[in-house]
Structure 1
């Protein structure tokens, strides 16, 4: 998940990242925070989530009964410089994010850096969950972004018809090669849609019609049903040969 986020070459300044439950871990919460992203997953079974307090003796009002465990703030402070250096290495892409996540996960709780990252993630996760359950705008934002993301994923699944939208290999480099090719094709379709929708809007403008900017916000550039992923075949009645 972090690899794709860090390798995104968009000119936009990404500030928030949403994902479903399967993409959530406390380590990801911490790494996103260190990288300057607000990690906003939709977590299943919130009532079963362990929430943490920063101070064992402090009172947190109505939330006090929910905060049943305490994070180790001391180790976060001790390893802070090391965590910042780790985040810088990720930003500079001198180390792959999936390798970092795997090592941190496998070395917890014996490794002190892994322990610090996990404790930081617990603190960030707790703050996020409390906002999620008390602030309806936060929940709406997460759901809207996930719905947009799911619609975006439908396009490459449509194009990637031979494997029914699933990678059948466990080799990381092969997966990345296929994902890059899939992104290229998907972006070409997106570009084609953008050009043609822009031309339609320009024609409407020339005809004297005005499009409300609020309406434009809801026009998706991701329709794909006009794309034939497996090609078009023309059969000559006098021949058994087909052409794609």
Structure 2
């Protein structure tokens, strides 16, 4: 089961751009955008995109998950900014368990199929706040299926579809049906979230990996000012993809370096060394020269490959004691 998470970072724009938006909280008197990245439990940054800082992150959440077809996500987490009831519905239809970290749980509502009075008559302590409308879901079920298939086949971007459905003066009937279905899925999740400590810890652990990846992202950004110098969306996506490529190169190098170091240790020391390693060690960067070295001589920078790939490929981590 692969657990992933996604989160956005705000960046200033150094040039005029249609993608830029104003936000005094994040940019002061300037304009900026959001760089949204996806991290899985192995700390691979497997996708990223950029969009206006005025957009809600939840509307773009599905796009990176649907693009990542090599190793599909089984469980996905975000913070509160990534959550909507519609996302609960669509992820469930796509076979993805959506497990966000939601703050202010006391403000969340629980829903049920039966009237609230039915639960009250049964003497239940925990009562739902409202009743779902199953007729609304059934009435638009075929449209819900068509929308999910459209997303699955990537005939249209999720952010574009949700933006259109939510742009009416009154919410589109299909969007309201998705919200109704999402309330059912969200209620089931909230009950598990409150009851299971392990679930809350697992979500927080994965979100911590995303925050650590953000620190690496800031480190590899060239120059002191964390800002985009690209005006068009295509140029901004190129810059964001280059940043992600550098991050994954550092993560890969750290994995190889640590694996080779462990493989060369005596067997009795490997387990003890592994126990002292931080799970975020592969995101370390202070041992690297992030600005590079320039060699204008006729000699190669490295006389030999830095890693013994045969040793790394055959090494097996010591098993944990029973």
**TM-score in terms of structure 2 length:** 0.63
**Corresponding residue number in structure 2 for 1:33:** 92
In the TM superposition, residue 233 of structure 1 has moved relative to its aligned partner by 8.2
What pairs with 1:59-138 in structure 2 (closer than 5 Å)?
A: 59=119, 61-64=124-127, 67-107=128-168, 109-138=170-199
Task: Check 1:91–1:195 CA distance in 2 against 1; reply closer, same or farther (3 A cut).
Answer: same
The answer to whether the 8 Å contact 1:152/1:222 transfers is: yes
Against the structure 1 CA distance between its residues 50 and 172, is the aligned structure 2 distance closer, same or farther, given a 3 Å change threshold? farther
Alpha carbons 2:212, 2:280 under 8 Å: kept? no
Report the equivalent of 2:74: 15
Tell which has more relative contact order, 1 or 2 (C-alpha 8 A, sep 6+). 2
Q: Which runs of 5+ in 1 are unaligned?
A: 235-244
The offset of 1:71, in angstroms, is 2.1
**Which structure's residues are more often strand, by fraction?**
2
Distance in 1 (CA, whole Å) between partners of 2:70 and 2:284 is 21
Q: 1:116 to 1:173 in 2, by over 3 A?
A: farther
1:187 aligns with 2:248: yes
TM-score (norm 1): 0.81
Deviation of 1:85 after TM superposition, in Å, equals: 2.1
- Asked whether 1:43 is paired with 2:102, we answer yes
Change in CA separation of 1:24 and 1:166 when aligned onto 2, cut-off 3 Å: farther
How many angstroms does 1:173 deviate by? 3.8
Does 1:224 pair with 2:293? Answer: no
**Cα RMSD between the aligned structures?**
2.8
Equivalent in the alignment of 1:201: 262
C-alpha separation between the residues in 2 aligned to 1:168 and 1:28? 32
Q: Which runs of 5+ in 2 are unaligned?
A: 1-60, 296-322
